[in-house]
Amino acid sequence: MRTILDRAKERHDIDPERLITNTAYGSGPMLGWLVDRGIKPYTPVLDKTGRTDGTWSRTDFEWDPENNQYICPEGEPLKQFRRNYSDPYRGPSGKSVAKYQALKHACQACSSKMKCCPKADARKITREEHENARQLARDIAKAKQYAVSMRLHKKVEMLFAHFKRILGLGRLRLRAPCGANDEFLLASTAQNLRILAKIFPAPQQTSKA
Ligand code: SF4
């Protein structure tokens, strides 16, 4: 992806405003890289934070960026630091992951504890380095234009599926980049002819009486 974008810029001076991709490109580092480059990610977010035991997942907690904290469904803050460090980089942060925790006594007295953290003394939540980019991708996914973009994406994907399944390009027969180029050029020509034939059907032969 990075090479393709660099090449598009270098050869055609194209800087895409948005990129429509599938979940395979929805990891935090990938989304962060796109957003840093000024490209809006139209990508389903790869999110493994969902819980399977029915307890509240991270998405049930509200992010409060001004105060660098999460707010739980019961209104309690989950903070990264409970003290002010003279050195802002000090503190219990992990590798590219920030940890937020509610106060133990608040969780112990909470009526929703069984839905939140039944096995822990207090609820903890982690926040990845690229969470802002992930949130942007989630917000984009709620917009009307996202559905239109995904339909366009599906159309392109179907052309590649046609290459693979119908035209048998799952495996190339010619070798080296030149061979691959020739084979794809021929296949694309065949595919475009097929589309044109659908748009402009051949005139029907009229039988002579
Ligand atoms: S258990 Fe703690 S974090 Fe969870 S809802 Fe209750 S107070 Fe909030």
What atom of ligand 1 comes closest to residue 117's alpha carbon?
1
* One-letter identity of residue 90: R
Q: Where are the beta strands (DSSP E) in 24-96?
A: 40-42, 62-64, 69-71, 77-79
Beta-ladder partners of 62? 71
Q: How confident is the model at residue 141 (pLDDT cuts 50, 70, 90)?
A: very high
> Rounded to 5 degrees, what angle do the CA atoms 182, 187, 189 make?
95
55 lines ligand 1 (CB under 6 A): no
70 lines ligand 1 (CB under 6 A): no
Task: Express as a percent the part of the chain with pLDDT over 90.
Answer: 58
**Closest C-alpha to ligand 1, atom 5:** 74
pLDDT of amino acid 84: 65
pLDDT of amino acid 202: 79
Which 8-state DSSP code applies to residue 109? T
Instruction: Tell me how far apart the terminal alpha carbons of the chain are, to the nearest angstrom.
Output: 61
Q: Where are the beta strands (DSSP E) in 33-188?
A: 40-42, 62-64, 69-71, 77-79, 97-101, 124-128
76 lines ligand 1 (CB under 6 A): yes
The β-bridge relationship of strands 40-42 and 18-20 is parallel
pLDDT of amino acid 33: 93
19 lines ligand 1 (CB under 6 A): no
Q: What whole-number distance in Å separates Cα of residue 104 and Cα of residue 111?
A: 14
Probe residue for ligand 1, chosen from 58, 69, 113 as the CB with the greatest number of ligand atoms within 8 Å: 113
What's the pLDDT tens digit per position in 91-114? 545 457 888 999 999 999 999 999
113 lines ligand 1 (CB under 6 A): yes
Residue ranges per domain, the chain? Answer: 58-83+91-129
pLDDT of amino acid 208: 59
What atom of ligand 1 comes closest to residue 113's alpha carbon?
1
pLDDT of amino acid 32: 93
Q: How confident is the model at residue 179 (pLDDT cuts 50, 70, 90)?
A: very high
Return mean pLDDT, the chain: 88
pLDDT of amino acid 129: 85
What's the pLDDT tens digit per position in 13-70? 998 999 998 888 999 999 999 999 999 999 999 888 778 888 999 889 999 989 989 9
102 lines ligand 1 (CB under 6 A): yes
Q: What whole-number distance in Å separates Cα of residue 173 and Cα of residue 182?
A: 11
Average the pLDDT over 146-165 and give the result: 91
Structure tokens at 16: 């895409």
Q: How many CA atoms lie within 13 A of 188 on its CB side?
A: 7
